[in-house]
Amino acid sequence: MGSGIAGMFARAGCHVRLVDLSDALLDRAIARLRLGQEALVEAGLLLPRDAHLSMERVITTTDLAEACDGSDFLLEAVTEDLALKQELFAAFDGLCPRETVLATNTSGLSVTAIARATGRPDRVGGMHFWNPPHLVPLVEVIRADTTSDDTAERLKAVALRLNRKPIMVRRDIPGFVGNRLQFAVMREALHLLREGVASAEDIDTAMTAGPGLRYSFMGPLRTADLGGLDVFRAISSYLFASLSVDREAPETLHALVEAGKLGAKSGSGFYRYSDADLGRFIRRRDRILLKLTEVLEAEEDVKDG
């Protein structure tokens, strides 16, 4: 995530310092950044010259003080560990100029708790990018309880400069908006799999060939409007009572994790992945996302025109 986000800032004309724990990790980050750039060039969304110039704007370092020195804006993208993020934000607060805005790319942790680790909680907010960040346009701008109006608007302006689609999350709740929607679907998918209603493949197909297809351009509330709120109320009256109300991750998920089946990164999860298969799937995913983005942006241009 960090390298993909750094690439977006660089392509927007910003000078970027990308910081990590070791030169080896930074080399991997730059390699991923280059792959993302190549995908954009191949899709005709980035000129080769602009790709080259943007790479020149990225400096790597393992020195946190060097990364923070004189910065206008800092975005953190470490693992989802609240204590670690709080420790880092306390360090950022001491190393960055007082006017620097600090943002966290957490997927759902308390931005308020992170902000309170600093002496500038009014200048801290959340910017949740979605993976892969150079292809998925959504950015959730999260207001901590302490985030000032000016900081929130600055974070939104940053997302717009990166040509992303920001939404303002007005309350700092776990999971924000996107992950609450995603995990509501995930909970029901796991329930259907556990109950033997359908296979993993068929559950995924039900989403990709059905609601997922239209959700790319209209969300659940617009879908309800077009389907008729009276119809959706009628369906809700009998369906809500039978939906999963699990309060914890189900045994199906626990069993896979305990067996070391962590998904693509371990070679198996709900599906099996060889290195070749995974590479082909990721390239296919990226091609589809790029084409879909191109179509949706063209539709936006028609609407605005």
Looking at the annotation, which residues are catalytic? 107, 128, 140, 179
Q: Is 42 helix (H, G, I), strand (E, B) or coil?
A: helix
Angle, vertex CA 148, rays to CA 142 and CA 153, nearest 5: 65
Residue with tokens 């910081």: 19
Q: What are phi and psi of 74, to 5 degrees?
A: -130, 130
Q: Which two tokens stand for residue 18?
A: 């990308």
User: Which residues make Cβ contacts (< 8 Å) with residue 191, sequence separation at least 6?
Assistant: 243, 244, 246, 250
b/e sequence 235-263, b meaning 16+ C-beta within 10 Å: eeeeeeeeebeeeeeeeebeebeeeeeee
Return the H-helix or E-strand segment holding 305.
Answer: none
285 closest CA partner among 266, 264, 260, 261? 264
| DSSP calls for 4-35 | HHHHHHHHTT--EEEE-S-HHHHHHHHHHHHH
Q: Is 59 helix (H, G, I), strand (E, B) or coil?
A: strand
